[in-house]
Structure 1
Amino acid sequence: MIGHYTLTGPEDAPVLVLGNALGTTTGLWRDFGLPFRLLRFDHRGHGRSAPVPGPCAIEDLARDVLDLLDHLELRQVHYCGVSLGGMVGMWLAAHTDRISRLALMCTTAWYPDKSVWDERIEVLGSRGMEPLADSIVARWFTPAFPPDVVARFRAELLEVDVPSYIACCRAIRDMDLRPALAKIDVPAVVIAAAQDSATPPEFARHLADELPDSELYVVGDAAHLAVVEAPKTISVILDDHFGNS
């Protein structure tokens, strides 16, 4: 499927695909700047992308990106993904030759504890997003982060199609990308946030240990959406990584 996307920046610059976290939209990157041609997209049922009925796996979400790359006639791209976007990036880098360099931010290859997803899915199915919104957003940001920005992300979360969100939750719960990590033969950078309770730094360390060619960074004053809380720090890391290509 080809959902909502934007492609901005110098036409002669390398294309950098930006993959969003679960429950966020292309607005995740609104204050983010790098000297590349930036391809932002919304996952199915998020933002301005239409819902897709039925279950999905990480592979299906990754194939959405492949459809988009084919549509735009992009043979090979850089890829940076946050959380769910990083999971999609791992699949793409392991199973295709479309990714030249990879950045994985606040993400994991698997969740050993499935119960958190089962509980979330149960509440979503019976009561919708509203009862979960505050607890989800609380994990995205540190307590001192400006409340107006937090409120904007909460509002975007409440607009996500609930069945699509549930399908993505199940995809994350059921994934195990650990066997794929050794197949990723492109240069990778792994970024964790010290105050991220959703994907703690030990998850990032596992990724960095298993990836054949990777560097690990831990950003201090940030939580799960570190790209929003520490954009300057992360921009420097990514510019160094992708700028070396």
Structure 2
Amino acid sequence: MTVLHHVTYGKTNADNGTVVLLGSIGSTTDMWLPQLDALSRDHRVIALDHRGHGSSPVVPGPATIEALAADVLETLDTLHVEDFAVVGLSLGGAVAQYLAATSPRVTRAVFMCTSPKFGTRESWIERAAATRSTGTGALADAVIGRWFSPGFLESRPATTNHYRTMVASCDDEGYASCCEALANWDFQDRLAEISVPVLTIAGGDDPSTPPETLQGIADAVSGEARAEVLSPGAHVPTVERPAEVNALLQEFLGA
């Protein structure tokens, strides 16, 4: 287990409780800036960097989703957080699924642009090897092309460059390790273990985790679930559609 770098805003004893934000592979807590601002008015809100991402320590070798989830709980222990709502995007959504199914500390869950299984094991193992060989800078353009819709990329060059730099600055081993976690991630047969209230959010133009994938999660969990689609929008609606994401989160989490 690893204590992760984090940022926290809002009151420690906020009436509406603690919300934990877990981002995509290749991201930092900056992925959540619009949500940190909006949610901190009513909640204690904490965003974390996965191991080997942002300012979190690098842990050499393959990771697992279970280990990444343990990192989250270990970090929350140091912050004296007991119950919390979890919001996860992409890789963070996989970690959130595992936490929602296995930890009684989770009160409700938002799964955003994520999946119970991402592609093939071989593709992630190949990406891990390529990252260790050529670095995250070599894949940054391709990643950003999946994160945002074509219209957003064209109209927001400065924002696009900021997030391209974010991906390129991710530690090579940290990125590769999380690729290996996704290579072995398959939660399709365990979604029914999630009994807390669930909100799924999909990007209508997301090539990685299309709306039907998020609808499938909502249909498979055993708790009350609601599925929303934001269009236009690709893999990172927290940045591309912040007002709509914030409104959905505030309604679901209780503002």
1:5 paired with 2:16, answer no
> AA paired with 2:187?
L
Which of 212, 232, 241 is 2:252 aligned to?
A: 241
Which residue does the alignment assign to 2:22?
Answer: 19
Which residue does the alignment assign to 1:182?
Answer: 192
Q: CA deviation at 1:200?
A: 1.3
1:119 paired with 2:126, answer yes
CA distance in 2, matches of 1:112, 1:206: 15
Which residue does the alignment assign to 1:196?
Answer: 206
Cα deviation, 1:160-200, whole Å, max 9, x if unaligned, reads 11111111001111111122211111000011010001111
Alignment of 1:45-124 (within 5 A): 45-124=52-131
Q: Give every structure 1 segment of 4 or more consecutive aligned residues whose post-TM-superposition deviation is greater than 6 Å.
A: none
* Contact 2:49-2:55 within 8 A present in 1 as well: yes
Say how many residue pairs are matched: 244
> AA paired with 2:235?
H
Which residue does the alignment assign to 1:225?
Answer: 236
> AA paired with 2:133?
S
Which residue does the alignment assign to 1:163?
Answer: 173
Q: CA deviation at 1:29?
A: 1.0
CA distance in 1, matches of 2:113, 2:29: 17
* Contact 2:116-2:187 within 8 A present in 1 as well: yes
CA gap of 1:201–1:114, structure 2 versus 1, over 3 A, is: farther
3-state SS, counterpart of residue 109 of structure 1: coil
CA distance in 2, matches of 1:163, 1:11: 34
> AA paired with 1:119?
E
Which of 222-231 and 6-15 deviates more? 6-15
Cα deviation, 1:31-50, whole Å, max 9, x if unaligned, reads 22122111111111111111
> AA paired with 1:215?
R
5+ residue gaps, structure 1, are none
The structure with the greater share of residues assigned to helix is: 2
Q: CA deviation at 1:221?
A: 1.1
Name the TM-score, length of structure 2 as normaliser.
Answer: 0.92
CA distance in 1, matches of 2:136, 2:24: 16
CA distance in 1, matches of 2:18, 2:56: 21
Which of 164, 170, 191 is 1:154 aligned to?
A: 164
Which residue does the alignment assign to 1:31?
Answer: 34
> AA paired with 2:32?
W
> AA paired with 2:236?
L
3-state SS, counterpart of residue 30 of structure 1: helix
5+ residue gaps, structure 2, are none
Which of 217, 233, 237 is 1:207 aligned to?
A: 217
Which residue does the alignment assign to 1:128?
Answer: 135
Which of 32, 35, 48 is 1:41 aligned to?
A: 48
> AA paired with 1:227?
T
3-state SS, counterpart of residue 68 of structure 2: helix
CA distance in 2, matches of 1:6, 1:111: 28
Which of 120-129 and 179-188 deviates more? 120-129
> AA paired with 1:24?
S
CA distance in 2, matches of 1:88, 1:50: 18
Name the TM-score, length of structure 1 as normaliser.
Answer: 0.95
Q: CA RMSD in A?
A: 1.3
In percent, how many aligned pairs have the same letter?
36
